[in-house]
Amino acid sequence: MGGGDDPAGQQAPLTERGARTRERLIVAAREVFEERGFPETRVAHITRHANVAYGSFYTYFPSKEAVFLEVADRLFEDMTHHDLVPAAGPSPSARVRRANRAYYEAYRRNAKMMAIIEQVATFNEEFQEMRRKHRAAAWNRSVKAIERWQRAGIVPSDLDAEMTSRALAAMVDHSLYLWLVQGDDNADTERLLDTLDAVTVRALGLPT
- Write down the pLDDT at residue 33: 96
Residue (of 99, 100, 105, 101) closest to 86 by Cα position: 99
Structural domains counted in the chain: 2
Cα Rg of the chain (Å, integer) = 20
Residue 2's pLDDT band, with cuts at 50, 70 and 90, is: very low
- Write down the pLDDT at residue 84: 53
Query: What's the whole-model pTM score?
Result: 0.77
169 pLDDT higher than 80: yes
Structural domain boundaries enclosing 27: 16-67
89 pLDDT higher than 90: no
User: pLDDT per residue over 92-138, tens digit each?
Assistant: 888 888 888 888 998 888 999 988 988 888 888 888 888 888 888 88
Does 85 share its domain with 62? no
Does 194 share its domain with 138? yes
Q: Quick check: is 33 in a domain?
A: yes
Does 55 share its domain with 148? no
Q: Quick check: is 76 in a domain?
A: no
- Write down the pLDDT at residue 13: 60
